[in-house]
Amino acid sequence: MTTSAASSALTPSADLPLVIVGAGPIGLAAAAQAQSRGLATVVLEAGDAPGASVRRWGHVRLFSPWRELVDPVAEQLLSSTGWVAPDPDGYPTGGEWVELYLAPLAAALEATDEVEIRFGRRVVGVARYGRDRLVAADRERLPLTIHTQTATGARARLNAAAVVDASGTWTRPNPLGGDGYPAAGETEHADRITYGIPDLTDPAVAARYAGKRVAVAGAGASAQNVLVGLGALAKDHPETRVVWLVRRPGTADAFGGGDNDQLEQRGALGSSAQRAVTDGPVTVMTSFRTSDIELDEDAGQGRLRLTSFADLGTGAAPADNGKVVDAIDEVIVVTGFRPDHTWLSQVQLDLDGELDAPARLADEIHPAWHSCGSVSPHGADRLRQPEPGLYLAGMKSYGRAPSFLAMTGFEQVRSIVAEVAGDQEAADRVELVLPDSGVCGGSGLFDGAPADVGCCGTSAEPELVSIGTPAGGCGPSCG
């Protein structure tokens, strides 16, 4: 066994591969990077096909164009197979991202000598070989052990020189409850609650909401997608009504940068959502942090009543009730995601107590300071964990922060894999130019908890590289 000096971790070999958790856009990009460096690599994917999480929101159109959704090294591998790249200026749906890119990429990777993808393998544990988290001795010298489980419950172990956790956050949506736990009654009324963006172009799904009174909780781009979809549904079914529940006291800054948004499609989505509020079926309930969901006996027909935590003044005792929304038929929860660290309980992590993201990354991505969408490119230095050879990457590396972009993830894994391969110079280099969303105090890029405080913070290092705005600064709407 050889060790990489920079990370004090083992160097992958055929007997002791690099293991990547998740065959999503970032896990597969990591595998492409590893393949290009000749590293023996095993990808473990819980789903039965590549892009399993992206498929779940396959009907949603991305607001990044193709040119920002294809990893450069993956493209090189694909090109060698005769793959025809989609129009770089086109905007795919999640389904197209999978069919036209992730699935061919997985096939191309599997055809190489270096990469093996094992589908139907959920990672349920990572440990240092034969040691729990408390044993300090020899951690750098021993491999990591990955515990997996199939859908039928069969468990297996696999040893690895290094592990890149690119398992995303899609499978752990935040609950409706305003304090981060399920609201009282949330489990009992689960049959009326949907988490994520329903496919309203599917007639069976649309029928569930047509002509109904629907509560939508959340303020990110996913919530805006839902508002736009319900607004369109209301054109054919004018009785459809939407109550939009937001935690913040107003929605003026919730719609992104509009025409000024550097992410053009995101700006368009925000403008459409705004129209659904001003001219459509949507009414807004601000400062609403759901506390309870229960049957609304007065409305009948199994309708629901939602109650907010009371709005407390400083030092005030809790009042009985806050605001109330009644006669609700259906609830759609789009309040963001959180990472699952439960299966990393036997390895040493350094996570930010607020975001659940790598501590060294947290300041770079905190929505309170980066609501402008201005996140610096970063790599192994911020993502490596105290456990030698372990890295968090992709959507999961952002923890509860909402502003992850795939191209950020491509840069992350380029740097991580370089470090795993022992190429520290490449690992330390920054090779990415990120677009700025041009939004200040706006909603999170996708979902989640928009900041309650201002924007426009600066960070000391590394230097921000952005298009359209000065380094560390804000977009045109910055007050």
Ligand X SMILES: Cc1cc2nc3c(=O)[nH]c(=O)nc-3n(C[C@H](O)[C@H](O)[C@H](O)COP(=O)(O)OP(=O)(O)OC[C@H]3O[C@@H](n4cnc5c(N)ncnc54)[C@H](O)[C@@H]3O)c2cc1C
Give the separation between CA 142 and CA 160, rounded to whole angstroms: 9
> Cβ-count burial of 232 within 10 angstroms (0-12 exposed, 13-18 middle, 19+ buried)?
middle
| Token pair 């009543």 in the structure block, residue | 305
Nearer to ligand X among residue 32 and residue 62 (C-beta)? 62
User: Which is nearer to ligand X, 46 or 176 (by Cβ)?
Assistant: 46
Nearer to ligand X, 35 or 53 (CB): 53
Beta bridge partners of residue 325, listed in sequence order: 306
Contact residues for ligand X, defined by CB under 6 A: 21-27, 44-47, 52-54, 57, 60, 62-64, 122-123, 166-168, 170-171, 222, 394-395, 404-406, 409, 446
Nearer residue to ligand X within complex by CB, 434 or 440: 434
Minimum CB distance to ligand X smaller for 193 or for 223:
223
Pairing of strands 122-128, 144-149: antiparallel
Query: Is residue 112 exposed (0-12), middle (13-18) or buried (19+ Cβ within 10 Å)?
Result: middle
Beta-carbon contacts of 236 under 8 Å, excluding residues fewer than 6 positions away, are: 210
Name the phi and psi angles at 415, rounded to 5.
-70, -45
Contact 203, 311 (CB under 8 A): no
Would you give the distance in Å from CA 134 to the centre of its chain?
Answer: 31
Nearer to ligand X, 167 or 290 (CB): 167
Q: Return the number of the residue (309 or 404) whose C-beta is nearest ligand X.
A: 404
In the complex, the smallest distance separating the C-beta of residue 178 from ligand X, rounded to whole angstroms, is 21
* 197 neighbors 223 (Cβ within 8 angstroms): no
In whole angstroms, what is the distance from residue 416 CA to residue 18 CA?
A: 11
Least separation in angstroms between residue 20's CB and ligand X is 9
Q: How far is the CB of 46 from ligand X (least distance, A)?
A: 4
Q: What is the DSSP letter of 477?
A: T
Q: Which two three-digit tokens encode residue 221?
A: 């781009």
Give min distance, CB of 102 to ligand X, in A. 9
* Six token digits for residue 262: 């550097």
| Nearer CB in complex with ligand X: 75/294 | 75
Rank residues 16 and 54 by Cβ distance to ligand X and give the closer one.
Answer: 54
Minimum CB separation of residue 50 from ligand X in Å reads 7
Cite the beta strand spans of 113-212 per DSSP E. 115-118, 122-128, 144-149, 155-160, 162-165, 193-195
- How many C-beta atoms surround the C-beta of residue 114 within 10 A? 19
CA distance linking residue 122 with residue 31, whole number of Å = 17
Q: CB of 406: closest distance to ligand X in angstroms?
A: 4
Residue 198 CB, nearest distance to ligand X (Å)?
12
Closest to 207 (Cα-Cα) out of 61, 329, 318: 329
In the chain, what's the furthest Cα-to-Cα distance?
A: 71
Please say which residue, 63 or 309, places its beta carbon nearer to ligand X.
63
- Quote the least distance from Cβ 149 to ligand X, whole Å: 9
Cβ at position 251, least distance to ligand X in Å: 20
User: Could you tell me the smallest distance in angstroms from the CB atom of residue 358 to ligand X?
Assistant: 14
